[in-house]
Structure 1
Amino acid sequence: MRRRSFLVTSGGLIVTWPVAAAGQQRERPRVVAYIAAAVPLSEMAGPNPAWPPIRAFVHGLRDLGWVEGQNLVIEWRTLAGNPQRAPAILAELLGRSVDVIVLGASQPLIEAARKATAKVPLIAYFPLGLDPVAAGLVASLARPGGNLTGITSEPTVEIIRKRLQLLKELAPRTTRIALIGTKPQQKLFPPDGGPAGTRLVPVVVEQPHEFADAFVTILRERADAIYPLGGGVQYAHRGQVIAFAAAHGLPAVYGDRESVEEGGLMAYGLSGGVPPNLRKMAGQVDRILRGAHPAEMPIEQPDRFDLVINRKTAQALGLTIPPALEALAEVIE
């Protein structure tokens, strides 16, 4: 088994609010609210949550000295794939004494939170397609300048183009690639289109119930490959795409290694998958609870990416992994 990481380089008003100074003792536990985009509540709570990224977040906090039931309370909430729930959930949480709110990878959720409060610190997982600077949510990635910071999921057009190229290399007969994503994500199509000899087919999915119609569209448009663009809803329901691709013999490229571990063909994404980023967010929570200001905390950007290929899935699709790709990839047998 071989594995290499890819290095991607990237490139104020100070808002204050009441926070405890580092080392200051408080009588009450600190309260962190976590709003997921689509993860079921049943897979979020407890000392060892069932959902791997959430588990990484909880364990990250524990490693930094924050333990539920001792010095920490976590208020778990989820949009359950419905962004219209965001305002009510935020209003309810802001009526409590929360010290920081963590936001899952949902653009409507992040935008709603930014409108709902300029005081409570917010830590967001910015999804693919949401540029926090261009959207006016922060002043800059280096110095956000308000109460919102977090991590970006990845660069945009460059990564989309790279994934499409890798998919074409592994499945050279591909001619029509269905890109499944939100409306904002659809704006990220490479301006020069897909790889030579291919056509990109946009398929919009905003909520979980829209996957069924999306699959009908993919078949009607005779797409012969799939690229789910990712985000909270797609990540939480990735199993539907994996099963659909397998049932119809469609090669697919993903942005997370978890999809490949679960039977997807290939992924080019964040090194280690999504869980390490949630551990980073736990570190950001720790800094805020110890007195740091989001205004001065840079929004973190990923810099290492892995190529992962599932050999069994490739064989089931009648594909042979080119030596050049196999030399660069971690191949799951």
Structure 2
Amino acid sequence: MGSGFSAFCSVLPRPSFAVRCAIWATSRARTSFTTLATREARTVGRGLVVNVSHPGGNITGVTELSTELTAKRLQLFKDLVPRLKRVAVIWNLEDLAMSLRFQEAEAAAPRLGLSIMRLPVHDIVDFDAVFTALKRDPPDGVFVVSDRITAQREPALIELLRAQRIPSAFEFPPSARAGGLISYGPSIEELAPRAAAFVDRILKGAKPGDLPLEAPVRWHLIVNRRTATAIGVEIPASILARADEVIE
């Protein structure tokens, strides 16, 4: 993406805004290119910003904190399905942010008594091999790191996991509503207006590096009882009490 993306940046009018996916490239492309991180996580740990309250440089916006939430998502998954021992993690290996989430899952697993089954994908076509692996050697559960690649095969994946009676955990509300067993994360729809507010402030003269990165104000725990019944999982009362939404 390096030189090609830099060339792309050079023809854009100022101010220009990149939304999430190219944050790593745009941070190096040129300092006048404003990167609006509407869903990015771990920008500090990756050396992209100085700190959360004063990012510096050309990056600001709303972070979804997905990397930081990975351990909690796995904990909730384990609380919902206590028999979990081996969890398959599906993630896009080509995206650094997604790989950071996988690494967080791998680091958290031993503390939760879990082992990780690696199922990386590079492109949509790799899901054929993922589906084969899930049928040949079924894990106790599947955790999906959500991005544009995994989203495209999500309906087929949910259908397969339901047929194989494998519990699934996702990062965002739409996935649980679509048939995943559980999801925990912010509503992307709630982040969009806040991102628009950043654009407005920057267009009015604010420097991106002076605008603190913001985190979501709410995280939604969603459990799909219909899926739980279909795959033979009994939802603990403790999870039902904490759930923001239960799909009947």
**TM-score bracket relative to the smaller structure:** 0.7 to 0.9
* Correspondences of 1:210-249 after superposition (within 5 Å): 210-235=126-151, 237-249=153-165
Alignment partner of 1:289 out of 178, 186, 203: 203
Which of 1 and 2 has greater Rg?
A: 1
**2:62 touches 2:214 (CA, 8 Å); kept in 1?**
yes
Cα shift readout 1:93-141 (whole Å, capped 9, x = no counterpart): 531324221323x3xx2111112121122212354xx521222211111
Equivalent in the alignment of 1:112:
25
Aligned residue for 1:253, secondary structure, equals strand
**1:176 touches 1:222 (CA, 8 Å); kept in 2?**
no
CA distance in structure 1 between the partners assigned to 2:192 and 2:51 by the alignment:
22
Is 1:172 paired with 2:87?
Answer: no
The runs of 5 or more residues in structure 1 that have no matched partner are 1-83
Q: CA deviation at 1:209?
A: 2.9
Structure of higher RCO (CA pairs closer than 8 Å, 6+ residues apart): 1
Change (3 A) 1:195 1:90: same
* Correspondences of 1:153-172 after superposition (within 5 Å): 153-154=64-65, 156-157=67-68, 159-172=69-82
CA distance in structure 2 between the partners assigned to 1:268 and 1:238 by the alignment:
16
Equivalent in the alignment of 2:62:
151
Aligned residue for 1:99, secondary structure, equals coil
Cα shift readout 1:48-82 (whole Å, capped 9, x = no counterpart): xxxxxxxxxxxxxxxxxxxxxxxxxxxxxxxxxxx
CA distance in structure 1 between the partners assigned to 2:189 and 2:129 by the alignment:
30
CA distance in structure 2 between the partners assigned to 1:252 and 1:97 by the alignment:
44
Is 1:305 paired with 2:215?
Answer: no
Residue type of the partner of 1:154? Answer: L
CA distance in structure 2 between the partners assigned to 1:223 and 1:184 by the alignment:
22
**1:100 touches 1:120 (CA, 8 Å); kept in 2?**
yes
More helix by share: 2
* Correspondences of 1:236-275 after superposition (within 5 Å): 237-270=153-186, 273-275=187-189
Aligned residue for 2:104, secondary structure, equals coil
CA distance in structure 2 between the partners assigned to 1:90 and 1:234 by the alignment:
27
**2:5 touches 2:25 (CA, 8 Å); kept in 1?**
no
Change (3 A) 1:239 1:265: same
Percent identity, aligned pairs only, is 30
CA distance in structure 1 between the partners assigned to 2:151 and 2:196 by the alignment:
20
**2:138 touches 2:166 (CA, 8 Å); kept in 1?**
no
* Correspondences of 1:15-34 after superposition (within 5 Å): none
CA distance in structure 1 between the partners assigned to 2:12 and 2:193 by the alignment:
25
Equivalent in the alignment of 2:246:
331
CA distance in structure 2 between the partners assigned to 1:92 and 1:331 by the alignment:
45
Q: CA deviation at 1:309?
A: 0.8
CA distance in structure 1 between the partners assigned to 2:188 and 2:153 by the alignment:
14
Change (3 A) 1:172 1:194: same
**1:126 touches 1:151 (CA, 8 Å); kept in 2?**
yes
**1:177 touches 1:199 (CA, 8 Å); kept in 2?**
yes
Cα shift readout 1:26-66 (whole Å, capped 9, x = no counterpart): xxxxxxxxxxxxxxxxxxxxxxxxxxxxxxxxxxxxxxxxx
CA distance in structure 1 between the partners assigned to 2:133 and 2:3 by the alignment:
31
**2:15 touches 2:32 (CA, 8 Å); kept in 1?**
no
Equivalent in the alignment of 1:142:
53
- TM-score relative to the length of structure 1: 0.65
CA distance in structure 2 between the partners assigned to 1:150 and 1:218 by the alignment:
37
Residue type of the partner of 2:129? Answer: D
Aligned residue for 1:307, secondary structure, equals strand
Q: CA deviation at 1:92?
A: 2.9
**2:142 touches 2:169 (CA, 8 Å); kept in 1?**
yes
Aligned residue for 1:102, secondary structure, equals strand
**1:193 touches 1:199 (CA, 8 Å); kept in 2?**
yes
Q: CA deviation at 1:225?
A: 0.8
